[in-house]
Structure 1
Amino acid sequence: MKHFFTIIGGMGTIATESFIRLINHRMEITCDQDYLNYILVNDAQVPDRTTYIKDHTKPNFFTALREDFLQQATLQPDFFVMPCNTAHYFYDDLANLTDIPFLHMMRIAVHNFVEKFPEQKKIGLIATEGSIYDHLYVDELNKVNRSAELGGPEIQPLVTKLIYSNIKQKGVVDAELYHSILRKMHDEYGCNVILLGCTELSLAQEQSPNHPYQVIDPQSIMADVVIELELKIRAGKDPQKVIQKYLY
């Protein structure tokens, strides 16, 4: 297979399924051959990211991801993409395993926010406890002179319930809960734009987009990015030059 990219997924599986669905359904196609070539590594056995980030005595998820990246590197994909925000905790370590470009989903999403909403100096952030705990998005926002609004102490338990109790444990999106979180962030904490810092939240947005709030959805943004990149590479453009604009 020529001109393909590798998706390191399974964190969780239903969110990865959403990412693939976005890519496939956004392609302009007239036949089977118009779709993109990719390999999906749905490694559902990767230990929970938040658990390790908050407590390093728990299983380290880097070990599983390292094996996935090295296995796939032997196949020489055009680039790697990993639809899990929290797993970017080990981005630098994973990127250094190989010379194959690895797209940084969080960084690309933050730059998309700046480009799309240049007048906004802060953004509401809802994410896993791991991403919040380790300032993964906060650090990226600070690099571009933006700040994150996390809301009050009642917000994180609601977000955690939506991600874990509903989506990860039951495979369902509680649309009412999702919309209530967005409403609180907007109405009570003055967030004109809200960043969905977890791919389960991206799944919630895909399934329940019927709300009036502005969101930055990293998984949706990355679906558009990989389509753009792979179509240009397929057309004969230099992969390194094409991808360089997204390696911030």
Structure 2
Amino acid sequence: MEHFFSIIGGMGTIATESYVRLINSRVKIKCDQDYLNYILVNDAQIPDRTAYIKDHTQPDFFPALRSDVLSQAQLKPDFFVMPCNTAHYYYNELASLTDVPFLHMMRIAIHNFIDNYPNEKKIGLIATEGSIYDHLYADELSKVGRQVEFGGPEIQPLVNELIYKNIKEKGIVDAQLFYKILQLMHDKYGCHVILLGCTELSLAQEKASDHPYNVIDPQSIIADVTIDVALKIRQGIEPQQALKKYMY
């Protein structure tokens, strides 16, 4: 297979499925051959990211990711994409394993926020406790001069319920709970834009987008970037050139 990319997924599986569904549905097709070429590594056995980030006595998820990246690198994909926000905790270590370019979902999403909301100096963030605990998004936003609003103590338990109790455990999206979280972030904490810092939240947005709030959805954004880059490479543009504006 020529001109393909590798997806490091399975964190969690239905969130990865959402990403794949987005790229398949958004690419313009007239025949089977118009779809993108990719290899999906749905490694559902990767240890819990948040558990390790908060407590290093828990199983480290890096070895599994390292193995997946190295095995895929041998196949020489044009680029890697990893549709999991919290796993970007190890982005630098993973990207250094190979010369294959590795898209950074968080940075791409943040630059999308800056481009589309240049006058907004603050963004609300809802995410896993791991992403928040280790300042994964907060640090990236600080680099570009933006502030983060996490909301009050009532927000994270609601987010955890949506991510873990609903989506990960039951495979369902509680639309009303999702709307409640967005409404609180907007009305109570003054967030005109809210960043969905977990791919389970991106799944919620895919399934329950009928709301009035402005969101930055990294998974949706990286799906569009994936399509743009893959099609440019297919048209004969060198991978490094096709990826250039996205390698922040």
Question: Which residue does 2:247 correspond to in 1?
Answer: 247
Deviation at 1:241, TM superposition (A): 1.1
Please say if 1:122 is aligned against 2:119: no
CA-to-partner distance for each residue in 1:70-126, whole Å, 9 max, x for gaps?
A: 000000000000000000000000000001000000010000000000000000000
Tell me how large the CA RMSD over aligned residues is.
0.3
| Cα distance in 2 between the residues matched to 1:122 and 1:87 | 24
Q: What TM-score results when the alignment is normalised by the length of structure 2?
A: 1.00
Report the secondary structure of 1:76's partner residue: coil
Question: Which residue does 2:28 correspond to in 1?
Answer: 28
Unaligned runs of 5+ in 1: none
CA-to-partner distance for each residue in 1:201-229, whole Å, 9 max, x for gaps?
A: 00000000000000000000000000000
Question: Which residue does 1:156 correspond to in 2?
Answer: 156
| Cα distance in 1 between the residues matched to 2:107 and 2:61 | 21
Question: Which residue does 2:62 correspond to in 1?
Answer: 62
| Cα distance in 1 between the residues matched to 2:148 and 2:5 | 32
Report the secondary structure of 1:45's partner residue: coil
| Cα distance in 1 between the residues matched to 2:159 and 2:148 | 16
Deviation at 1:28, TM superposition (A): 0.7
Give the aligned residue type for 2:211: H
Deviation at 1:27, TM superposition (A): 0.9
| Cα distance in 2 between the residues matched to 1:222 and 1:247 | 12
Question: Which residue does 2:10 correspond to in 1?
Answer: 10
Instruction: Percent identity, please.
Output: 73
Question: Which residue does 1:189 correspond to in 2?
Answer: 189
CA-to-partner distance for each residue in 1:7-50, whole Å, 9 max, x for gaps?
A: 00000000000000000000110000000000000000000000
Q: What TM-score results when the alignment is normalised by the length of structure 1?
A: 1.00
| Cα distance in 2 between the residues matched to 1:96 and 1:77 | 15
Question: Which residue does 1:92 correspond to in 2?
Answer: 92
> Structure 1 stretches (4+) deviating beyond 3 angstroms?
none
> 1:36-115 residue pairs with structure 2 within 5 A?
36-115=36-115
